[in-house]
Amino acid sequence: MSQTERMPRTRTYLMCPPRHFAVEYAINPWMDTTVPVDAALALKQWQLLRDTLIDLGHTVHELPAEPGLPDMVYAANGAFSVDGTAYGARFRHPQRAAEAAHHRSFYAAGPWRFVAPAHVNEGEGDFAYLPGAYGGLILAGHGFRTQPAAHTEAQEVLGRPVVSLHLVDPAFYHLDTALAALDDRHIAYYPDAFSASSQRILAQLFPDAVRADRTDAEAFGLNLVGDGRHIVLNHEATGMAEKVRAAGYVPVPVELSELKRGGGSVKCAVAELRP
């Protein structure tokens, strides 16, 4: 499919500025507490990401940052919304547990049906929604953070079929580090981040997927945001940018070197709101 046939769809996002961002603990392989974070640069890079999304025609809401919660910038982890229902997060690690209440307050103030989870899950970190695939399909990761029981819970709460995918490489501890929705029907993913059975499932469901290699994944090239035409991704992921370009999309690189220190990039910082 050519780029002229790739049509963007205006979307609404939630982001949280990194006003208190730091790497004070290590809960994923990317976090190194011995390397100081440049807080001013982190905020500047985040603002560039926000402005890039707005310039592409999207709406961005901001969740206020809270002292003592340095990882709130990874706003995708706070909930997962589909058709006006927000399925809340329940973080695995105690360092992030308090973030969930702030996300709940955001949804409670809007036109949302908020459902508190009974099981550990980390929002869009481990859930991806493809409204145009198979009548509306949720892909869900487990293995490091989200519990498999949360996949069943999300299916009941959101009324969409959930396909469980087993993550097996700790470097790719969330689904959104190993798989991305490019638009409403198509995905990109790094096969070796998944178990053999999950690889077979993905190959069957998405035979036309863009397949990333380890270099792409380690550059956080799959931690991207797509609107159907534009693919906003980490500037380091040059190989991934060429792959999506070859598939007919327009890559939009953004530098997020400081946020990568905490184990996240574009998608981690952006929650899609689906009212």
Strands 225-226 and 230-234: antiparallel
What are the phi and psi torsion angles at 243 (to 5°)?
A: -65, -45
Could you say which of 16, 103, 151, 268 is catalytic? 268
Q: Is the dihedral of CA 262, 20, 117, 182 positive or negative?
A: negative
Q: How many residues belong to the chain?
A: 275
Specify whether 16 is catalytic. no
Q: Rounded to an integer, what distance in angstroms lies between the CA atom of residue 80 and that of residue 78?
A: 7
Q: Which H or E element spans position 179? A: strand 179-181
Specify whether 268 is catalytic. yes
Could you say which of 151, 174, 186, 230 is catalytic? 174
Distance of alpha carbon 4 from the chain centroid: 26
Is 156 strand, coil or helix? helix
Look up residue 139 and give its two tokens: 């892909």
Q: Where are the alpha helices (DSSP H) in the chain?
A: 39-55, 99-108, 148-158, 196-205, 214-218, 238-246, 257-260
Provide the annotated active-site residues.
174, 268
